[in-house]
Amino acid sequence: MAMVKKLIPIGNSLGVLIDKPILERLNINADTEIEVTTDGVNLMIKPLRTGHARRVQEATRAVMKAHGKTFRKLAE
């Protein structure tokens, strides 16, 4: 879904308005933290899913605690 947007002044900065259909599709709102990155040509905006990352880390720790010996043997 490509859109052409113009930057709008916000204080001493510039911003981009994100249309409601995109916000709904990405399941983000005003409280969602976002990560802004660039490769020098493109600007990428990605919602941070800290809850998801935390759950993955916790699950990984639990699996390693329960099956770490087995994984180490398989790695040999």
**pLDDT tens readout for residues 29-48:** 998 889 999 999 999 999 88
For residue 7, give the nearest of 38, 41, 43, 39 by alpha carbon: 43
Residues of the chain with pLDDT under 70: 1
Name the DSSP class of 12: T
Q: Going by C-beta distance under 8 Å and a sequence separation of 6 or more, which residues neighbour residue 64?
A: 71
Residue 1's pLDDT is what? Answer: 66
**Count of Cβ atoms closer than 10 Å to residue 72 Cβ:** 10
Name the DSSP class of 31: T
Residue 35 DSSP SS3:
strand
pTM of the predicted protein model: 0.56
